[in-house]
Amino acid sequence: MSSMTLSLPTPARATALRAVTRWLLAAIALLAALTAGSSAWARDDGDWQILQARYGTSSRNIDVTERLREVARSDRRVRVENELFGTDPAPREMKTLRLYARNRGGETRTFEFREGSIIDGDDFTGWDRGDWGRGGWNGGWDGDRRDDRRDERRDDGAYQILGARYGVPDANIDVTDRLKQLARRDLKVQITNDLFRDDPAPRRLKTLRIYARGRDGDVRTFEYREGSWIDGGQFTGWGRGDWGDRNWNGNWEGGIGGALRQGYNQGAGPSIDGRVNIIRASYGANGRSIDVTDRLRNISRGGPVDLRVSNDLFDRDPAEGSRKTLRVVFSIGRGEEQVAEAREGDRLRFP
């Protein structure tokens, strides 16, 4: 009876043992894979989901959500430094990275990492998958998060922006489109020359003037001195950028030669005396030039033009290595065509 377990012939026993061994090895491998997968999921399934990331100081900070997401895909541990984000928003100041996050219960929390410290991605869900920071947060540096309904109210202020100009009474530029770009990124914006990529009045204290219309139809001018902050919450559609009226032809004082109440064109169109009409404009040198008519029309909006000529103005260099010229053909109202020119680096002012 005791020999029953050994009753299989030797070749059969060997085959059976090999089969059992293969089965055990396969089971162990499967268990290891499942365990590893579970462990990886746990490591990448922290308690908090990042909503947004900002880097800088309380008065000077930038949104770095997209950049941090790129880095997170390749590194689970990240050192906070200027080189990581490709910029220094507050030179000579100690900066902080703030991560605004939400847990499964809907609670929000701010994580702070001083310049030079290390972020451990294991604390955040989806860190290396990059499936975070895609909305649901509209807070500023101090974490004043708003839910969707509150956000609609903040972004639906009492005034709709018609146009914006930056400078001083005798030297100012149209910055409506530039301000619109900035508004899509930040609820609060600080007024600086760098912000508008130009200084229309060097060594003079400048002002940003925003011309806006209330729900009752009245037009009002909002003024912000250089260095101050705009809170976009008082303007409707600020973050969506659905503002800036192309029928607005106001100059610095909010009107065109007194022809319009507060400078708002109630459909009178180009026939208004005093309106600057950009007929055509080109920028280049040595036979290599680009058409910049639309860009100049957008800057003028029917008013005077005052700008510094540079490649940055048109986002390209049509003739590298050569000093270029901006040439504009225009008319005043229904008057004769006139020409204004300025070389790269100089200011162009007309009429």
pLDDT tens per residue, range 143-191? 654 443 334 334 456 788 888 899 888 888 888 888 888 887 766 778 8
Q: Which two structure tokens, joined as six digits, stand for 65?
A: 């959500």
pLDDT at 113: 92
More confident of the two residues 298 and 48: 48
Q: How far apart are CA 208 and CA 241, in angstroms?
A: 18
- pLDDT one-digit tens code per residue, 326-345: 999 988 877 788 999 999 99
Q: What is the pLDDT of residue 282?
A: 93
Average pLDDT value for residue range 5-29: 67
Closest CA to 118 of 80, 84, 85: 80
Nearest alpha-carbon partner for 297 in 318, 275, 312: 275
Confidence of residue 42 (pLDDT cuts 50, 70, 90): very low
Confidence of residue 9 (pLDDT cuts 50, 70, 90): low
Taking residues 66-95, what's their average pLDDT?
85
pLDDT tens for each residue of 299-327 = 877 788 889 999 988 888 999 999 999 99
Q: Which of 76, 119, 69, 115 is nearest to 96 (CA)?
A: 115
Token readout for 200 is: 């229309």
Looking at residue 14, what is its pLDDT?
67
Q: Give the model's pLDDT for residue 274.
A: 66
Q: Of 95-99, 109-113, 151-155, 196-200, which gets the smallest average pLDDT?
A: 151-155
Mean pLDDT of 75-103: 86
In the structure, what pLDDT confidence band is assigned to residue 13 with cuts at 50, 70 and 90? low
Lowest mean pLDDT among 1-5, 54-58, 137-141: 1-5
Average of per-residue pLDDT across 107-132: 86
Better pLDDT: 16 or 299 = 299
Q: How far apart are CA 180 and CA 302, in angstroms?
A: 19
